[in-house]
Amino acid sequence: MNWFGESWLAPMCDPADRVETPVGLECAHCEERIAAGDRGVFLNGDPRPFHFECFIRGVIGSVGHQKGACPCYGGCEDDPPGATRREAARAAMEYFEEHPPEPFIEIRIPEQQLKDIARVVRRVLRGLLARHQNN
C-alpha cells in the first residue's frame, strides 16, 4: 500500500512507501478530486487513490453502522442525510474518534502457543525479507 500527503504516524506510513500526492485524480470512494495538501492511500495495485477519511470510512463503517443502527443490524440509518460521500466519511471518522469502540475481550494464550506463533511469524518474516532482498 502506498500513501501520500502528511503522515498520520501509523506503521503503514513507511517513508519507502510514500508517493507524490496525485493532485487532480478522483478518489475511488467519493469521486472528488485529490487536492494539494490531501492525504490518503493507493490500495494494492489499484491506480485510483483514496482520501484518508474515505479509506478509513471503509474500515470503520458509516456513522449508522458504528451506532449499530444500519441495515446490518436491522436498522435504516447509514450516512448523515444530505451529506456527500466525503462529508459522510469525515462524519464517520469524527464519530469514531468521539465514540471509540469498547476494548476487545482479552484472550489469554498459553505460553507454549505464544512461542509457536512467534516461531511461525519469525519464519514468515525471514522469508519476506529474503524475497525483498532478492528483488
| Per-residue pLDDT at 135 | 66
| Per-residue pLDDT at 45 | 81
User: What percent of the chain clears pLDDT 70, i.e. is strictly above it?
Assistant: 97
The answer to whether residue 5 scores a pLDDT higher than 90 is yes
| Per-residue pLDDT at 125 | 84
Question: Which whole number is the average pLDDT over 41-57?
Answer: 94
| Per-residue pLDDT at 31 | 97
The answer to whether residue 96 scores a pLDDT higher than 90 is yes
* Inter-helix orientation angle 85-98/52-60, to 10°: 60
Nearest one of 7, 89, 86, 88 to 40, comparing CA atoms: 7
Question: Which whole number is the average pLDDT over 8-25?
Answer: 91
Set of cell numbers at residue 43? 490500495
Boundaries of every domain in the chain? 2-98
What are the residues whose beta carbons fall under 8 Å from the beta carbon of 52, sequence distance 6 or more? Answer: 5, 8, 38, 39, 40, 41
**Which has more pLDDT, 97 or 115?**
97
With H, G, I as helix, E, B as strand and everything else as coil, classify residue 112. Answer: helix
The whole-angstrom separation of Cα 126 and Cα 130 is 6
The answer to whether residue 50 scores a pLDDT higher than 80 is yes
The answer to whether residue 10 scores a pLDDT higher than 90 is no
Question: What pTM, to 2 d.p., does this model score?
Answer: 0.72
